[in-house]
Structure 1
């Protein structure tokens, strides 16, 4: 096929050939690894005397995280340099079968034949120095290291040619969609060697023009650089070199399932897109010559220039500036120092490789008017590497109060990934603020504790946590330690309850039995801060008021006693990653504050969620009823409200405040779930409180992902509209008015919300980590920043009308009810 510019390409769905590759060699030093392995071989009496190791590579193919076919192994190679195989591997899958998230996994293993003595003690062997061996003992496979590799790029182009993959020592490669053993080094960790390897790969694929005399000089220089770098940093990492099959033209991904006779739009990567034009860069450098600095001081933008600058300042944080836009901002930089929104855009137009230009930009940055917190958060993203720029963001954060800082603490902890050192100013700032505030200390400790599971940045988070533990006062440290002990005991209980065979009542009986028996110390203990809300002090659990939910994971519903004599109910989950739910609830809480600051209270219910590890956490329990149960027992929502708020003179026989609360909460969650792209909505994860508040739970699908086909743009079911009196009622008109007003208020703070999600790009959350940039763009699209307020109102009203009239989602809801019934 050919694109619009004449460039030819293939579609992956048209390639009926098996996936083929060549496993070439292993680079690095195995000596330290082998010594460490043999030292750990304590089960064998004389393992250290005579190991006979051999290396081989096990290759597997994972499609959407599921193993496809059987693993393929290379021949054995002796464990001595050079470690080479040069073996072709042909897998059972064909290119047409692959998906965009297909991964190849490589695990380098070795066979160790441990030669054991014949029933004589080690002391006897040493005394007599006998050399009798029994070689019948089975060989042991030991993982040298593993790496996972995506076969399609982010632009959905098939990768070809040589690939140098970093091995994770002692680990078996996993084929998860979000792999914990990525073979490619992250951009921020790449050094000169990685850059040269990438350039050589392009050269071998023919993407760099061959010039013999210049190539010879270049290869000699590359060899010299590699030798110097190896001497300087040593060969501490192992790398596996593989070569993928190359084709005559680029191969663009197309799903075979979605292929149809009609014409489809296929995006073909253009190697020139995104690359800087050297002529343009030279022109910019000439235009920015420092000798023109005096003239630039007095330069003012014209009307046309002001319009252009205003347009640029409206760009979201993910938008890159082209050469013309960068030059415009640099040209009028002195006249922009009074515009706080312009600082982040100005810093993006700076050439930081130019020392003179960078120095001038930093001097100007300190003269700039104070920026908002949203812009300060953007300066802490991976888009800004300068320590001075990131330090300027900390200067802004230091002026914020503890309550506001807590609203962004989750993202600030994630931003530690983008720091250039383990002991950064951001880390010190977070620790110093937390040690003087119990709430900040509580959440900072748990946020850091969760990130210790990040294999890449575990050391960094551990050092910050260690700094926090050293700095915090002993009484507070003791309370936080008791929290950890409480969570550990709850994990033990949850595991035991889940393993109980039988009906739900048996699980509940087991929970109460443990609380009154072997775990009776949990019924009364010294006061400690509630992890979800440190302002509440817990003193024990009430076994009689604790229960278990009917679910595969058997979550615990626990009732705590508080120092004030009250009760606090919480859901404890074991085996579930709550970090994405925690993020969504944090954004809902923030949006609630933004709406209330504009005098619009939509009666939201931002309950608390705290992830204490990647597989456990706590959720605040709100007394409520699933909408599915409400309709099953009462037929309509109005009948449900009549039980608690009957009023013969009120609308539909219920009190006006109750109906008003329902209308407002429906509007608030319709807007928020639309903006965040919340999916998998059904009548079991919409909950209703007795006072009229409706709220959503379970946020496993966000940013447009949905488990059901053809989801409506607005999560609004017909039963909700009927409870308002139908589409022609005044209450439904008020609902639409609240929706449009809330939408425009949140659009004003789009920059803050986008930056908060932008900072989460490094977190391994299911719906963000796969393509962080795409996720932010999806969120940005929902704000429709290209529309003014009046146009946004018309747009949102159209969305509401389209959602109410959607018939297919109602059919899916019926199917879901049947599935729940038979389950």
Structure 2
């Protein structure tokens, strides 16, 4: 088979469509005098006055019955002997953008002093023709083309055009149409010679100058004779109306026939139509793990039919078929993008600097600035933000909204918007955290946010360090070696041991995560940041010692993890496991009884130098966590709980948010006596947390015959106090109950029962075990806020003044935290891609759940009434009491 060489239309991405208007052939007979008397508009028409009158030609690209370009026309030209233009027209569209149905509509216009009613111009269609640019094989037409001209009609360009360039096959049985067989042999000969001429022009036939001149002269004579013969045959076959006209503008049918010669560009190879292929958007393919508690009904079985192979393999045979949706993954509407680009191209900085909003526009802007970080900004609001950007630059709240209204992928907009960032009023830290989120990937924006974070001290920065590490995932692709956020974290951590300690362990946990939910590129990213951190440390005066310290911390945790596994899987009852633990800790080979001072990874401000083997314990739990008492250089004990086999990153996140909320409340002079104990995940399956001497509410109530008040009275007796409890202890209990009720409600902490509600001898109440957050709960009909009967009884009952004070503290704390809603929401937004169980279940909805519990859209008075109602419902929830009773029964039978 002979090789076929071709190119695709997409290869011609820079070449505009061209067509050469050559000449018009045909014979025009004069209009009878009787017709001119009836039609005064025909008397001064140019073609009726002269057979070589001035005509002009327009060409336009159409596709699917719609115009793709504006029409272009030939220049004015005066004809003498023949209507020959010999002019190339350039159409404003490239071959790569042509669809397969593209046609070129060519119209020859006749000049007339009378205005045409249809076109409102002083031009009448002399004739029109429509030429498809691709043939039936989707190959681009090229070379000379001879087009049939339809008299008195403008080329329409429709899919079923009425002005085709070649005469369509005639239907049999119609007497008023000339059948093709009636065209004499001269017409057929003319067509054969034209085909040979086209082949010669394409180089398929050799040229001979003296012989070709004779042939061309003969061809001209044959063409004229053929035109006359075809026109005569056409005149005999056209049905004449009773008034002597044929319906074409009142001109009588006199057998006129015209052909327009055009020429299309020639190419060395055939040009085959190829559509532009765009990269497909991401197709959602969410797969739940086998141990997930979320059970969805099975998808319907789908049969692909006999003989049809499954493109996704035999494993997915009979399952759902993926549907490609081209709109998935589009952040913006293309029409809105075009409108915004057009509108902003006409606006200049000189005019916008002095533009100020009127009263109505100012109210709209204030309502816009009050929106939360998760609320969408409409297209009209984006236009207003851009229009009044100079006016809004004095308001720090407006910066994040302004950044959202800019198309940072548009270089022109980015160049205009980037200088505005430096002129804006200095933003708060919560806004800087929002600019580090996943929707802001432009390096200029992220660098600006980092510059704002540089002004925060180490203590404040440590509060957000967990989220800043996760924000590294949102750095633009290819920016890993030049990430402003990574450079900032590495530099600050290298100069602060406390920051460096936590950055090191946060990175090590992500590096050790080899689960399917951790992308390999993210693991490589964290490894690169850890490597850069170690290099930066070596450049500091104490860097070498610091690296040795981190290495010793890792060795200590490795030994403890090994001991924990030996104790857990060693067999025997709990006393045997405790004995095995004490023996392993006292073993000189483990070097744990005494060692050189080392900063505790959990709390680097504490220096430890050994462990007390005899004062360690193994807790009653499925994972058998170890209670270890470390020696400190201050001759004190620091107890921790070390656990292997559990991912503590979710608990770590909750404690970090509780610590932050505690700081926010204290800034408003509201100390609710919270107990944000320290916790640190050292790997994806191990970690440690601070042991706080305390007792569960279940144990306290059991010990004191069902009364939590009796427990408080026993540990803090005061006969002069109203309830026999020392005032400071009762205040601590009431405030801590209020604080944790509000915080656990906002975070949606679930699986609350009397065994994970703890109370210390000082009266401090706190929660532990945050295995379920963001509204998830393994028990049905669980209350939104955990306020059980025992907690209220410890205050003196629902009728006491302490309970009234408790409700007041609750509302004050909730109202205070609502004011910092942007900061809290931005922190959770940065954790969307973290490998945390209750976040990865619904990554996009996790932040929304926190937002819903803050009731941001409600007024302060309405929120106060609803929140008081929530407290009363939680206190009187009988289902919660039944759940606690069932849990106690289950724990009893487990023993």
Q: Which TM-score bucket, shorter chain as reference? A: 0.5 to 0.7
- Are 1:789 and 2:848 matched, yes or no? no
Matched, 1:534 2:534: no
1:364 equivalent in structure 2: 420
Secondary structure at 2:526 match in 1: helix
Match of 2:345? 289
Q: How many residues align?
A: 583
| Equivalent residue, structure 1, for 2:893 | 822
Q: 2:274 pairs with 189, 212, 220, which one?
A: 220
Question: Is 2:480 the partner of 1:422?
Answer: yes
**Preserved contact between residue 313 and residue 342 of structure 1 (Cα < 8 Å):** yes
**What are the residue-to-residue correspondences of 1:100-139 with 2, within 5 Å?**
none
Change (3 A) 1:515 1:353: closer
Task: Check 1:689–1:246 CA distance in 2 against 1; reply closer, same or farther (3 A cut).
Answer: closer
Structure 2: distance between partners of 1:219 and 1:715: 68
Measure, in 2, the Cα distance between the counterparts of 1:361 and 1:664: 48
- Among 720, 724, 727, the alignment partner of 1:656 is 727
Question: 1:249, CA displacement in angstroms?
Answer: 13
Verify: 1:516 aligned to 2:572, yes or no: no
2:452 corresponds to which residue?
Answer: 396
Query: What is the 5 A alignment of 1:603-642?
Result: 603-634=673-704, 635-642=706-713
SS of alignment partner, residue 558 of structure 2: helix
What is the match of residue 449 of structure 1? 508
Deviations 1:555-584 (A, max 9, x none): 010000011111110000000000000000
C-alpha distance in 1, partners of 2:612/2:588? 15
The structural deviation recorded for 1:706 is 0.6
Q: Which moved more, 1:500-509 or 1:681-690?
A: 500-509
Alignment equivalent of 1:798, drawn from 855, 866, 869: 869
Structure 1 segments unaligned to the other structure (5+ residues): 1-211, 227-238, 252-268
Q: Residues 348-384 of structure 1, C-alpha deviation per residue, up to 9 Å, x if partnerless?
A: 1111232111111111111111111101111111110
Q: Could you tell me how far apart the structure 2 residues matched to 1:214 and 1:641 are?
A: 89
Q: 2:749 aligns with which of 667, 674, 678?
A: 678
Q: Spell out the pairing of 1:234-253 with structure 2 (5 A cutoff).
A: 241=312
Note the alpha carbon deviations across 1:31-86, whole angstroms, 9 max, x for none.
xxxxxxxxxxxxxxxxxxxxxxxxxxxxxxxxxxxxxxxxxxxxxxxxxxxxxxxx
**Cα deviation digits, residues 486-533 of structure 1 (max 9, x gap):** 000001100000012222111100000111225451000001101111
**Cα gap change, 1:715 to 1:225, in 2 (>3 Å):** closer
Aligned counterpart, 1:318:
374
Question: Which of the residues 447, 456, 459 maps onto 2:524?
Answer: 459
- Residue 332 (structure 1) aligns with: 388
Matched with 1:387 is: 443
> CA offsets per residue over residues 82-113 of structure 1, 9 Å max, x none?
xxxxxxxxxxxxxxxxxxxxxxxxxxxxxxxx
Provide the C-alpha distance between the structure 2 equivalents of 1:488 and 1:219, rounded to a whole number of angstroms. Answer: 65
Distance 1:790 1:218, change over 3 A: farther
Secondary structure of 1:307's counterpart equals: helix
Matches within 5 A, 1:503-582: 503-517=573-587, 519-582=589-652
- Match among 468, 471, 474 for residue 536 of structure 2: 471
What residue is the counterpart of 1:434 in the other structure? 493
TM-score (norm 1): 0.68
- Taking a change above 3 Å as real, the CA distance of residues 650 and 270 of structure 1, as seen in their structure-2 partners, is farther
Among candidates 798, 821, 824, match of residue 727 of structure 1: 798
RMSD over aligned CA atoms reads 2.6
Pairwise mapping of residues 336-351 of structure 1 onto structure 2 (< 5 A)? 336-351=392-407
Q: How much does 1:679 deviate?
A: 0.4
Report whether the alignment pairs 1:594 with 2:664. yes
**Whole-Å separation in 1 of the counterparts to 2:138 and 2:359:** 50
Contact 1:500–1:506, Cα closer than 8 Å, also in 2:
no
Report the CA distance shift for 1:224/1:710 in structure 2 as closer, same or farther (over 3 A).
closer
Distance 1:312 1:273 in 2: 26
Q: CA deviation at 1:224?
A: 11
Q: What's the CA shift for 1:404?
A: 0.6
Measured after TM superposition, the shift of residue 319 of structure 1 is: 2.3
After superposition, what is the alpha-carbon deviation per residue over 1:540-599, rounded to whole angstroms, capped at 9, x for unaligned? Answer: 000011111111111010000011111110000000000000000000000000000100
Kept in 2, the 8 Å contact 1:318–1:773? The answer is no
Give 1:483's aligned residue.
Answer: 553
Tell me the SS of whatever aligns to 2:776. coil
Gaps of 5+ in 2: 1-135, 141-270, 281-309, 538-542
Q: Structure 1 CA distance, aligned partners of 2:638 and 2:797?
A: 38
After superposition, give the CA deviation of every residue in 1:232-260 in whole Å (9 maximum; x if it has no partner): xxxxxxx9856887999999xxxxxxxxx
Higher relative contact order (CA 8 A, sep 6+): 1
Please say if residues 642 and 654 of structure 1, whose CA atoms lie closer than 8 Å, have aligned partners that are also in contact. Answer: yes
Deviation at 1:284, TM superposition (A): 2.1
SS at match of 2:631: strand
CA distance in 1, matches of 2:801, 2:273: 77
Residue matched to 1:184: none
Out of 719, 743, 766, which is 2:814 matched to? 743
State the secondary structure of the residue aligned to 2:658.
Answer: helix
1:409 lines up with 2:438 in the alignment: no
SS at match of 2:628: strand
1:748-804 deviation per Cα after TM superposition (whole angstroms, max 9, x unaligned): 111001111110011111111222220100101111111232222212101101111
What's the offset of the Cα at 1:312?
A: 1.8
Contact persistence 1:677–1:704 (CA under 8 A)? yes
CA distance in 1, matches of 2:816, 2:857: 15
Map Cα deviations across residues 628-679 of structure 1 (whole Å, 9 max, x no partner): 1011111211111122111112122111111111110000000000000000
Identify which range, 721-730 or 562-571, moves more after superposition.
721-730
Q: CA deviation at 1:316?
A: 2.2
Match of 2:833 in 1: 762
Distance 1:248 1:405 in 2: 47
Shift of 1:214: 10
In the superposition, relative to structure 1, how do residues 279 and 458 fare at CA in structure 2: closer, same or farther (>3 Å)?
A: closer
- Equivalent residue in structure 1 for 2:843, among 769, 772, 778: 772
Q: Work out whether residues 414 and 760 of structure 1, in 8 Å CA contact, stay in contact via their aligned partners in 2.
A: yes
- Alignment partner of 1:560: what SS? strand
User: Matched residue of 1:570: which SS?
Assistant: strand
Contact map agreement 2:618 2:625 (CA 8 A) in 1: yes
Q: 1:281 to 1:729 in 2, by over 3 A?
A: same
TM-score, normalised on structure 2? 0.63
Q: C-alpha separation between the residues in 1 aligned to 2:763 and 2:445?
A: 48
* Cα distance, 1:294 vs structure 2: 2.3
How many Å separate the matches in 2 of 1:548 and 1:510? 10
Does the 8 Å contact 2:559/2:590 carry over to 1?
no
**Whole-angstrom CA distance in 1 between matches of 2:273 and 2:439:** 32
Q: Deviations over 1:208-238 (max 9, x none)?
A: xxxx999999983557999xxxxxxxxxxxx
Change (3 A) 1:277 1:445: closer
Structure 2 Cα separation of the partners of residues 224 and 726 of structure 1: 68
Pairwise CA distance, 1:821: 0.7
Contact 2:758/2:765 (8 A) holds in 1: yes
